[in-house]
Amino acid sequence: MEKKKNIDYRFKILYAIGMILVVNGHAYGGISILEDWFHFNGSHLALFTFSSGYFYKSSSEKSVNKYVLKKIKTLIIPLYIYNIIYGLIVLASRAKGFAIGGDFTPYNIFVAPITNGHQFGYNLGGWYIIPLFMVEIFNVLFRKLLNKLHNNISEWFFFITSLLLGITGNQLACIGYYNDLWLVLVRMLYFVPFYALGILYKKKLEQIDRKIPSFYYFSFVFAAKLVVIYLCGKSPAYVPSWCKNFNNGPIMPIIVGFLGIALWLRIAIILTPAIGKSKWVNIIADNTYSIMINQFLGFMIVKTLYAILYKYNIAFSNFDWNSYKTSLFWFYEPRHLKQTLIMYTVFGLTIPIILQKIINNLKKAFTLCHKHKLKKKIY
């Protein structure tokens, strides 16, 4: 009998929260979740990186080549497949007057996913895959190298080193090194401390965290964030995709990310008994890759539905056809109601999930067909 997987439902909720924050942030609204205190920019991707670090296994250092190949298979190959598909979609849409996305060129197909990630527009959420991959590879190589030099290096040493690397990367961005290959480097360095925090939390901090009552925990987190807001003059937001707006110095983006992780991690822990095993929470958590890549496809489907209804005078008014075809970040709001933006968040989550279910079913069908042919051939 197969062993049952030991599922950590805290992180299922954390992944779901992070994904909702990402999609809702790209849709410019629909749901306001403590946004005046913890702006989604600066914490949502830190959550994913922290969670990836938490699930890092030291055993990976025993077979680095196998680890790297696994990451290429699960992260990089799907990224490039999607990139080619969206490039073809952009190419085909030109005939209908759409001007969203770049040209279908070798550079945009093979190089831009690494240096930019926004080449075809619709799949721009995929920019995060490359720095995440780089952080994971750097982490395993760095640990293997140092563990060869010394068998018992403290986890705190790895964390402090990662923290210093993150500060260095942010400082480079602060002084203008965020173009071309510099962007590739500073993106990766920005995420290094959050990944290291995930590992440190699992090995050292988790046992301490469990002992702190939620009242004191939240009091500290909100007090610390209030100090940050006071010093910055507002709730700071950072956009790690471009690393251009680190206006409050190299340390503040890391502090903001840490506080966002602390907030949502404790909320996830509290919610675990109530919704940890929820089918809807888990379906979002299990499809984060597809949602990250395909959320804008969901947005465009909403816009297209509005366009059809407007074209045939069924409903709505003042639909901007030019913005619909030229601006990825234009969102039609019926009657100018911000609350209607939730439709984009809903479709941005559900369409990628449906798409992934179709892909999974096709894979199953292909595997079964291949096995059937193989058995027939053997027989």
pLDDT digits (tens, 9 = 90+) for 71-125: 999 999 999 999 999 999 999 999 999 999 999 999 999 999 999 999 999 999 9
pLDDT reported for residue 6? 81
Q: Are residues 358 and 305 located together in one domain of the fold?
A: yes
375 or 47, which is more confident? 47
Q: Are residues 124 and 219 located together in one domain of the fold?
A: yes
Q: Which CA distances in Å does 314 have to 257, 306, 325, 345? A: 45, 10, 21, 23
Mean predicted lDDT score pLDDT of the chain: 91
Q: Are residues 225 and 252 located together in one domain of the fold?
A: yes
Q: Which CA distances in Å does 327 have to 30, 116, 207? A: 19, 18, 48
3 part of a folded domain:
no
361 part of a folded domain:
yes
Report residue 379's pLDDT band, with 50, 70 and 90 as the boundaries: low
Q: Are residues 148 and 44 located together in one domain of the fold?
A: yes
Spatial separation of the C-alpha atoms in residues 53 and 153, rounded to whole Å = 18
4 part of a folded domain:
no
Q: Are residues 155 and 261 located together in one domain of the fold?
A: yes
Q: Are residues 302 and 247 located together in one domain of the fold?
A: no
264 part of a folded domain:
yes
Spatial separation of the C-alpha atoms in residues 315 and 266, rounded to whole Å = 44
Domain range enclosing 68 = 9-285
pLDDT reported for residue 3? 45
Read off the pLDDT of each residue in 173-187 and give the average, rounded to a whole number. Answer: 94
Q: How much is the pTM?
A: 0.92
Report residue 2's pLDDT band, with 50, 70 and 90 as the boundaries: very low
Q: Are residues 197 and 320 located together in one domain of the fold?
A: no
Read off the pLDDT of residues 132-152 as tens digits, 9 standing for 90 and up.
999 999 999 999 999 888 878
Q: Are residues 34 and 182 located together in one domain of the fold?
A: yes
Spatial neighbors of 71 by CB under 8 A, at least 6 apart, are: 133, 136, 137
Q: Are residues 306 and 324 located together in one domain of the fold?
A: yes
Q: Are residues 312 and 247 located together in one domain of the fold?
A: no
Read off the pLDDT of each residue in 240-257 and give the average, rounded to a whole number. Answer: 93
Q: Are residues 21 and 97 located together in one domain of the fold?
A: yes
